[in-house]
Amino acid sequence: MRIRDIDIANGLALAPMEGVTDVTFRRLIRQIGGCGLFFTEFIPAAGLIHDASRCLRMAQFDEDERPIAIQVYGREPSVMADAARYVQDLGADIVDLNMGCPSKRVCKNSGGSALMKEPDLALKIVEAMRAAVDVPFTVKMRSGWDQENKNAPSLARRCAEAGAEAVTVHWRTRADGYKGQRELDTIAAVVDAVDVPVFANGDIIDGQSGLDTWNRTGAEGLMIGRGAIRDPWVFQRIVRAQSGEKPLQVTASDKERVLLGYYAALRATFHNDHGALGRMKKIAGYFTDGLPHGIILRQAIYHSNTVEEAYDRVGSYFEDLRLLESGKPNPFLAREAG
């Protein structure tokens, strides 16, 4: 898959996720491999052009993680154009516009998915951002505002006609939040409506769901968010499923090494352990979802008061998991019973 002259290896992208996909998380995904394009978490356009240090931190990336897409959100076309120029100057390979965020905070000011309800304003923003930068410009949206207004196909077409060079579509509407009935026909309709590459997004968690989404939407690319926190090997799994290779085996020790390595990196990044512990808990909420008896580890991490306590609990969970993998009587059940 290509966006203009940028090659997207395996047609796979890591979704932008606020409070997750910072440079530390993206390093973890890179280290495991398989992902061809990285998005930063979304950055408020207004904050960025005022050089707010938090916004600049959100835009930080490693030179060797290219191609990197920096995503911005907001509602004022001129401010959005300035922000697009700004992130291009920071070195973004791709500038992405957020039209998908459902949060009240973002929608209240007509940013994020609220733009889907105001397509004319959305188009003004697209035109302003497009004109402001030379690098490829892309848009990420939901399937619509609600079930009655699934306007992604027409809006995506207008965006592409105005110069967007790729479109990502999350199958949910804004009203769905993070629930809703999986529905891929609207993404397929977007693929038919535009002549630029499309990333299909939403609930891709393994090789099977990746192939299924590809087949049912006809999209060139897949974008994966929560599935990559739950299982950072998901990109590798999809690559293997696509080429018919046998599924990847990831052992308890591999998972422990990756989780503890990531936790150590977080600790080094955050200025204090309080911040690091908060982020560890957030990540644990997803990562443990993919583990046998993961709820035990999740609760243990949630109830940790210090980083050391969290480390210890990760260690004892994985000791038990190794026992389980070696065919010993299930230590988790034994503990529950005891």
Ligand X SMILES: Cc1cc2nc3c(=O)[nH]c(=O)nc-3n(C[C@H](O)[C@H](O)[C@H](O)COP(=O)(O)O)c2cc1C
Give the residue with the Cβ less far from ligand X, 23 or 101: 101
Residues numbered 125-184 forming contacts with ligand X, rule: CB under 6 A: 140, 170
Which of 162, 123, 171, 130 lies closest to 15, judged by CA?
Answer: 171
203 is an interface residue for ligand X by CB under 6 A: yes
Give the β-pairing of 167-173 and 221-224.
unpaired
- Catalytic: which of 35, 55, 101, 107? 101
41 is an interface residue for ligand X by CB under 6 A: yes
Dihedral, 126, 222, 263, 60 alpha carbons, nearest 10: -30
226 is an interface residue for ligand X by CB under 6 A: yes
212 is an interface residue for ligand X by CB under 6 A: no
CB of 262 to ligand X, least distance (A): 16
48 is an interface residue for ligand X by CB under 6 A: no
CB of 330 to ligand X, least distance (A): 31
Token pair in block for residue 98: 């957020």
CA 111 to the chain's CA centroid: 18
The region of 129-137, 195-203, 236-244, 262-270 touching ligand X under the rule CB under 6 A is: 195-203
Spatial separation of the C-alpha atoms in residues 281 and 283, rounded to whole Å? 5
Cβ neighbour number for residue 161 with a 10 Å cutoff:
13
- The DSSP letter of residue 307 is H
The region of 58-66, 74-82, 224-232, 244-252 touching ligand X under the rule CB under 6 A is: 224-232
Task: Decide if 186 contacts 156 (C-beta within 8 A).
Answer: no
The region of 4-12, 183-191, 197-205, 231-239 touching ligand X under the rule CB under 6 A is: 197-205
Task: Decide if 119 contacts 152 (C-beta within 8 A).
Answer: no
35 labelled catalytic: no
CB of 319 to ligand X, least distance (A): 30
Give the residue with the Cβ less far from ligand X, 204 or 291: 204
The region of 146-154, 179-187, 196-204, 251-259 touching ligand X under the rule CB under 6 A is: 196-204
Rounded to whole angstroms, what are the CA distances from 279 to 24, 36, 302?
Answer: 11, 25, 11
217 is an interface residue for ligand X by CB under 6 A: no
E runs forming strands in 225-335? none
Query: What is the binding site for ligand X (CB under 6 A)?
Result: 15-20, 41-42, 71, 98, 100-101, 140, 170, 201-204, 224-227
